[in-house]
Amino acid sequence: MRIKRLNLKKSDQIFRKAIKVIPYGSQTYSKGVKAFSDGASPKFLAKGKGCEVWDVDGNKYIDYVMGNQPLILGYADQDVNRAVTKQLNLGSTFSVSNKLELDVSELMIKHIPGAEAVRFGKNGADANSIAVRMSRAITKRDHIAFCGYHGWHDWFIGTTDLNAGIPKFNEQLAHSFSYNDIASLNKIFKRYKDKIACVIMEPITVAGPKSSPNGSTKWKDFNSKKNFLTEVKDLCKKNGALLVFDEVVTGFRYDMGGAQKMYEITPDLSCFAKAMSNGIPVSAITGKKKYMKYLESTFFSFTYGGDCVGLAAAKACINKLEKKNVIDHLYKVGRKLKNGMNNIIEMHGLSELLECSGYPCRTVMTIKNYKKYSKPLIVKTLIQQELMKRGVLWSQYHSMSYSHKNSHIETSLNAFEDSFKILKKIVMNNKNIENYLHGKPCETVFTRVADFQSVATSQKLKIR
């Protein structure tokens, strides 16, 4: 079915003004014209409610990006809004501490296995960066090993091609390893013997940790007594390095206690943000008391560290996640979307090109190399374009929320089916996808610079 192009006139007008005064035209790379096709996608949203958003031209969408994943309850959740409004009337930032700091700390300690003490920041990158600084202070070592995306600060971005302005020594101290490849991490420990302060990693990427060779070789959806994460922890202990879990994405989404609770693996330090406060900025560094005490001498202090608006949102959000069994709902609707999408993909003979992968609470559209269609970003752009025209806001992953209901999933699956039909027709006729695009192709935000000591080829990651 042929659908008219979106009317994006007002959105484009605002962007032409914005680009003159806002470098890149957006505050976040993954909200701008690299992640969303320029000419086929809205550049400015005006409002949101639940899992639905409206752009400045009045177009309505079912949203699967959900503000880059923090909106676990949905836009403008009434319980979080009520808590924030109440706190604003009392005051947002005080001259000394506020009891909310204790309230939210106790909530996190209640749910997170590795949390014995807590400190707050505003962004996930804040928590990850202080975790690295603490690890260096504790171990008296400078090198780190990492796996995943961990924020915009020097130690991580220095390893990418967006490293302008970052002193070279940073990339010489940070070494990337591959998920589910314990040999790649072991290689780093051997090369930098007694120099690695910590291993910081996302405990779940798209897939979960693979079981050890002496056990099942299948991918595990839930707990396995011996898997990649247990091997990482063993290597850290053997080499005197701290284990840091970056649970910015997994925390309060995959499980109330994060991936560490799912897999019964307690890290030394862990970092949370996103879903803990439903989109109101706050983050947290948690960990064992014997390590967290180093925050008394390792500097981590800023005016908005105890901002009560974010803490009020976190308190309301975490309580609602528990009371309403929100995570069970995420898995239920996410499974319906994932299974439905893969059935449609198979039905249209696109399984060699597409697959919906990952845990139901947050799935990803995997785009594979297939014949002449070896440019995943071009395929992504076409699917995104056709979904947008059918009222689905999409950027390759599906961040489920409490506001996504069965009706939203069914409407979305119809949109996916229409989009896949168009893709199938192009593929079957051996046509070039570029000829069917209304706007510019999506781009990769940055490219990982290969760590020549441990990784053979560069990896492309999308900033979150």
Please give the CATH number for the structural domain made up of 78-324.
3.40.640.10
CA distances from 269 to 291, 405, 457 (A): 8, 35, 30
Provide the residue ranges of all domains of the chain, joining segments of one domain with +. Answer: 9-63+325-431, 78-324
* Tokens at 188, concatenated: 């780093």
460-461 vs 392-393, strand pairing mode: unpaired
Q: Which value, to the nearest 10 degrees, does the dihedral of the CA atoms of residues 374, 392, 390, 360 take?
A: 70
Do the beta carbons of residue 317 and residue 378 sit within 8 Å?
A: no
Q: Which residue has the tokens 């299974």?
A: 339
Q: Which residue has the tokens 């440019």?
A: 375
Q: What does the alpha-carbon distance between residue 172 and residue 144 come to, in Å, rounded to a whole number?
A: 10
What SS3 class is residue 255?
A: strand
DSSP code per residue over 164-223: TTS-THHHHHEEE--TT-HHHHHHHHHHTTTTEEEEEE-S-SSS-PBBPTTS--SBPSS-
- Give me the residues paired with residue 260 across strands: none
* Tokens at 368, concatenated: 């594979």
* Tokens at 354, concatenated: 């597409």
Residue 138: what pLDDT? 98
Neighbours of 149 (CB within 10 A): 24
* Tokens at 436, concatenated: 């069917």
Q: What does the alpha-carbon distance between residue 406 and residue 416 come to, in Å, rounded to a whole number?
A: 15
Q: What does the alpha-carbon distance between residue 344 and residue 328 come to, in Å, rounded to a whole number?
A: 24
Spatial CA neighbour of 387 closest among 419, 355, 346, 432: 419
Residue 215: what pLDDT? 40
- The one-letter amino acid at 115: A
Q: What does the alpha-carbon distance between residue 26 and residue 19 come to, in Å, rounded to a whole number?
A: 8
Spatial CA neighbour of 38 closest among 8, 68, 69, 62: 8
Q: Which helix (H) or strand (E) holds 124?
A: helix 124-139
Fold of 9-63+325-431: Aspartate Aminotransferase, domain 1 (3.90.1150)
DSSP code per residue over 76-100: T-HHHHHHHHHHHHH-SS-SS--TH
pLDDT tens, N- to C-terminus, the chain (464 residues): 568 899 999 999 999 999 999 999 999 999 999 999 999 999 999 999 999 999 999 999 999 999 999 999 999 999 999 999 999 999 999 999 999 999 999 999 999 999 999 999 999 999 999 999 999 999 999 999 999 999 999 999 999 999 999 999 998 999 999 999 999 999 999 999 999 999 999 999 998 999 865 443 333 444 457 899 999 999 999 999 999 999 999 999 999 999 999 999 999 999 999 999 999 999 999 999 999 999 999 999 999 999 999 999 999 999 999 999 999 999 999 999 999 999 999 999 999 999 999 999 999 999 998 888 889 999 999 999 999 999 999 999 999 999 999 999 999 999 999 999 999 999 999 999 999 999 999 999 878 764 433 333 333 334 33
In 227-332 the beta strands, taken as DSSP E runs, fall at 242-246, 269-272, 283-287
* Tokens at 161, concatenated: 């091609």
Phi and psi at residue 287, to the nearest 5°: 170, -170
Q: Which residue has the tokens 């608006």?
A: 309
What SS3 class is residue 305?
A: helix
